[in-house]
Amino acid sequence: MAISAIKLENVSFSYPANEGEEHKAVDGVSLEVEEGTFVALVGHNGSGKSTLAKLLNGLLLPTSGRVLVYGVDTADDKKIYDVRSSVGMVFQNPDNQMIATNVEDDIAFGPENLGVPREEIIRRVDWALEKVGMSEFRNATPFKMSGGQKQRLAIAGVLAIRPRVMVLDESTAMLDPKGRDEVMRVVKQLNKEEKMTVVHITHYMDEALDADRLVVMNDGRIVLDGKPEDVFAEHELLTKIKLGVPCVTQLAVTLNKAGMEIDPRITDEEALVEGLCRLL
Ligand SMILES: Nc1ncnc2c1ncn2[C@@H]1O[C@H](COP(=O)(O)OP(=O)(O)OP(=O)(O)O)[C@@H](O)[C@H]1O
Ligand SMILES: [Mg+2]
């Protein structure tokens, strides 16, 4: 039977400043994520993605509804430690996530704070460095590294806490294409090899393509939720809420509209090339 990693039951959240107002940052969201799923979460600016992310590990508590992490209610203050260590968060700016002047110390910071014994910390640091492909950087200075390396280091720091779920809030947004690739490769590998549940918030539609599931938010609500190819097929709705589709899908849709026999649901380049070759 599938294990439920995350469950949101009719969750709403208003920031204190906005309380009493109609506007809710998260508005009646219900969502269940099975363990081991790679979920991509997209939505226009201000649609509530970051608020939702913070609700997942108890950084914010719902104004109404419940958030369950492996069955534990995030509002249960006796269990907040479990929730925080189950759901690791990686944020956007790599420079704001570095703590120490040395890579090893930086990764050790999380488990040290949790009172993990010394030998276990050493094991975890080794393991985390290996998982993000940075073993040879163990004595390097974080501040001198590239953006992609810094984000991989941030991921290693989160891994050392041994979370079961990893939430990345636009963690690739400030990186160059190479850095983005590095980070995406690491995260996909963690999902495959460690069966880690991943919630990846991104505004790059191309990064959502090979997720198991794509969730689209607009104005605090979930408006689409399904396999990426099915979600991208909702081209008109996506355009209405100011979201694009991947370049290749956009091209397929345009050609289809122009009367060519091209499947508008195409999400990979090879399929598009094949379709075009067939027409020729
Ligand atoms: N600390 C805050 N206090 C008051 N309102 C806030 C706060 N943070 C966010 N909001 C409001 O809550 C709504 C959702 O914001 P949120 O940051 O969750 O959206 P987002 O989808 O992450 O946007 P972005 O793509 O810009 O990161 C927005 O209307 C925003 O203005
Ligand atoms: Mg955000």
Q: Are 241 and 231 in contact (CB under 8 A)?
A: no
Do residues 73 and 79 lie in contact, with contact meaning Cβ atoms separated by under 8 Å? yes
The answer to whether residue 44 sits within a structural domain is yes
Residue 186 exposed, middle or buried by CB count within 10 Å (0-12, 13-18, 19+): buried
Counting the structural domains of the chain, the total is 1
**Whether residue 280 has its Cβ less than 6 Å from ligand 1:** no
The CA-atom distances, in angstroms, between 127 and each of 120, 147, 185, 194, 258 are: 10, 21, 17, 12, 52
Entry field: residues in the chain: 280
Closest CA to 242 of 46, 43, 50, 51: 43
Domain range for 211: 4-245
The low-confidence residues of the chain, meaning pLDDT below 70, are 18-22
Which helix (H) or strand (E) segment is 90 a member of?
Answer: strand 87-90
Query: Among 99, 112, 97, which residue's Cα sits nearest to residue 147?
Result: 97
202 lines ligand 1 (CB under 6 A): no
The answer as to whether 158 is a domain residue is yes
Answer yes or no: is the C-beta of 24 below 6 A from any ligand 1 atom.
no
The predicted structure's pLDDT at residue 23: 82
The minimum-distance atom of ligand 1 relative to the CA of 201 is: 22
Looking at the CA of 169, which ligand is closest?
Answer: 2
Q: How much is the CA Rg of the chain, to the nearest whole Å?
A: 20
Any atom of ligand 1 within 6 Å of the Cβ of 46: yes
- Kindly state if the Cβ of 19 falls inside 6 Å of ligand 1: no
The pLDDT value recorded for residue 20 is 64
Distance CA 134, CA 177 (A): 19
CATH classification at residue 107: 3.40.50.300
Q: Is residue 154 part of a domain?
A: yes
pLDDT tens-digit readout, 100-131? 889 999 999 999 988 899 999 999 999 999 99
Q: Give the separation between CA 123 and CA 7, rounded to whole angstroms.
A: 32
Residue pair 52/217 in contact (Cβ under 8 Å)? The answer is yes
Indicate which residue's Cα is closest to atom 2 of ligand 1: 15
Does residue 127 form part of some domain?
A: yes
Measured distance CA(170)–CA(184) in Å, rounded: 11
Query: First and final CA of the chain: distance in angstroms?
Result: 48
Q: Tell me which residue has its CA closest to atom 14 in ligand 1.
A: 48
* CA of 45, closest atom in ligand 1: 25
40-81 pLDDT, tens digit per residue, is 999 999 999 999 999 999 999 999 999 999 999 999 999 998
21 lines ligand 1 (CB under 6 A): no
Upper half-sphere CA count for residue 72 (Cβ side, 13 Å):
18
Using a cut of 0.85, tell me whether the model's pTM lies above it: yes
Query: Per the domain annotation, does 253 fall within a domain?
Result: no
Residue 41 pairs in a beta bridge with: 201, 215
Q: Is the CB of 43 under 6 A from ligand 1?
A: yes
Domain presence at residue 263? no
Residue 29 lies in a domain: yes
Residue 62's H or E segment, with its range, is none
Contact indicator for 240, 49 with CB cutoff of 8 Å: no
Whose C-alpha lies nearest to ligand 1, atom 29? 46
Residue (of 259, 262, 258, 229) closest to 246 by Cα position: 229
Question: Which of 51, 172, 241 to probe ligand 1 with, by most ligand atoms within 8 A of CB?
Answer: 51
The amino acid occupying position 44 is H
CA of 158 to the centre of ligand 2 (A): 19
Q: Does 256 map to a domain? A: no
